[in-house]
Amino acid sequence: MLLKLNVNGQQIEVEAAEGMPLLWVLRDKLKLTGTKYGCGVASCGACTVHVDGVPVRSCVMSPQNLADAEITTIEGLSSRPGRAVQQAWAEHNVVQCGYCQSGQIMSAAGLLAANSSPDVSEIETHMSGNVCRCATYQRIRSAVARAAEILKEESQ
């Protein structure tokens, strides 16, 4: 079936099998491979993208009826919270293998867009859907807090 999507600010028409989740449309059809497959059942968060600015698990999301939505993947992340998160991630050397980090960053950017100064328990609650098998959690926790600080500095 022909899908009409707005991905990273671009209007796209793409042919995909009916029922193919957004994740596989992004990865296999649009070659936007920054969004990762980790479990396919919305249990690890590696596939997190933004739909109208809100983090969603693309592995269980139907791409139908998204014609009017703005889909943002890691490749198109350019919001202020997104850039602050990326800067903090680099400052804190968060990544190890890196495979989950696109999803972690998309989740963290979504959190900060909604809540610019989360406390530790809000960070943990929001980020608990994103698995990191390298267990970079301690750095994720501090990098999200650092990103909030960067946003605060920028707005002063």
In whole angstroms, give the CA distance from residue 52 to residue 116: 18
Residue 11 beta carbon to another protein: minimum distance, rounded to whole angstroms: 21
Residue 124 beta carbon to another protein: minimum distance, rounded to whole angstroms: 4
Cβ proximity to another protein, 131 vs 156, nearer residue: 131
Q: Which residues contact 65 (CB under 8 A, 6 or more apart)?
A: none
In whole angstroms, give the CA distance from residue 141 to residue 12: 36
Residue 6 beta carbon to another protein: minimum distance, rounded to whole angstroms: 18
Q: Which residues contact 10 (CB under 8 A, 6 or more apart)?
A: none
Residues of this chain, 46-105, that bind another protein according to CB under 8 A: 46, 73-75, 77, 86, 89-90, 93, 95-102, 105
Instruction: Report CA-CA distances (Å) from 14 to 6, 47, 57, 86.
Output: 11, 19, 20, 30
Binding site for another protein (CB under 8 A): 17-21, 24, 27-29, 31, 33-41, 43-44, 46, 73-75, 77, 86, 89-90, 93, 95-102, 105, 123-125, 127-128, 130-141
